[in-house]
């Protein structure tokens, strides 16, 4: 960026999404996004989430914030992680926008669709929204870090479950790394993968004490696609905005490799 170009801040990006910039500043942000694809993807996701919320609930009265958009409540759930306000707002929008349009696929499984499953899908979408657009710290332990060989052991120890970290190179995805997150049932693990275009998917895993194998459930959460399933001792939710058929194929590959 040259000295003659205006400095674009996070506040400018948020105001751009909310339609609160004057023409001159909006044009400056538009020019900035044209040359900064990472921020452009972030802004595009925010716009899609806002559009999904508006489509479902209409425009909100700025003077009356619904309880399920309470940022403090969302912050308590992710207080162990460093996250800025806008990502928390995006996560709360996802909670509102969740719509269970299940596409069932797979064979030889028992179908299951309960409140706990929906809660995991929501948490997985929130975690994806928080970290998938992160540039500097998308994961706690990177796959190319010196201690990356301990990533699997670390995650298994925190969840008290045995599982493998899937290799998705055949699907054009490289492992970025992983992190541990809090969940309503204890610790959760998030694995992040990235393709050559910078698109990311995450796999959210929580331990299960009474789980049975289930059919895979495809769900739309705002602009995101999720594919979820139970696998004996763990429950999993794959999250991303790739083509649904590609998401299905990746989920099946993960299921095969996890155990």
The string of pLDDT tens digits covering residues 176-195 is 999 999 887 789 999 999 99
| pLDDT of 99 higher than 60 | no
d(CA 149, CA 213): 29
Predicted local distance difference test score (pLDDT) of residue 103: 41
Domains by residue range for the chain, with CATH: 10-57 (no CATH), 114-258 (3.30.200.100)
- Among 165, 168, 132, CA closest to 149: 165
- How far is 61 from 63, CA to CA, in rounded Å? 5
Q: pLDDT tens digits for 198-240?
A: 999 999 999 987 656 677 888 888 889 999 998 888 999 999 9
- Could you give phi then psi for residue 36, rounded to 5 degrees? -135, 80
Q: Using CA atoms, how far apart are residues 109 and 229, in angstroms rounded to an integer?
A: 10
Q: What is the pTM of this model?
A: 0.58
Question: What pLDDT does residue 13 have?
Answer: 85
pLDDT digit string, tens, across residues 17-71 = 888 888 888 899 999 999 988 888 888 887 877 666 665 555 555 444 454 444 4
Pull the structure tokens for residue 256: 């095969």
Residue 192 near residue 132, CB atoms below 8 Å: yes
Which helix or strand (DSSP H or E) is residue 99 part of?
strand 98-105
For residue 188, give Cα distances in angstroms to 113, 142, 191, 193.
Answer: 20, 17, 10, 17
The average confidence (pLDDT) of the chain is 77
């Amino acid at each position: 960026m040259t000295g003659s170009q205006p400095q674009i801040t996070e506040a400018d990006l948020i105001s751009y999404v909310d339609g609160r910039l004057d023409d001159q500043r909006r044009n400056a942000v538009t020019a900035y996004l044209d040359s900064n694809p990472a921020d452009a993807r972030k802004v595009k996701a925010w716009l899609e989430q806002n559009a999904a919320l508006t489509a479902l609930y209409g425009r909100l009265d700025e003077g009356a914030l619904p309880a399920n958009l309470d940022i403090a409540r969302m912050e308590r759930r992710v207080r162990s992680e460093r996250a800025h306000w806008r990502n928390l707002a995006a996560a709360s929008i996802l909670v509102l926008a969740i719509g269970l349009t299940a596409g069932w696929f797979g064979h030889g499984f028992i179908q299951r669709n309960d409140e706990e499953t929906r809660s995991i899908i929501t948490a997985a979408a929130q975690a994806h929204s928080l970290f998938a657009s992160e540039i500097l710290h998308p994961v706690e332990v990177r796959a190319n870090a010196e201690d990356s060989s301990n990533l699997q052991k670390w995650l298994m120890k925190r969840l008290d479950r045995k599982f493998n970290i899937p290799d998705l190179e055949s699907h054009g995805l490289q492992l970025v790394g992983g992190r541990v997150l809090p969940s309503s049932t204890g610790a959760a693990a998030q694995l992040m993968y990235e393709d050559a275009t910078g698109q990311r998917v995450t796999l959210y895993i929580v331990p299960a004490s009474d789980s049975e194998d289930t059919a895979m459930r495809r769900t739309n959460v705002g602009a995101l696609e999720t594919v979820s399933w139970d696998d004996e001792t763990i429950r999993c939710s794959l999250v991303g905005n790739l083509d649904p058929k590609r998401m299905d194929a990746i989920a099946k590959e993960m299921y095969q490799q996890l155990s």
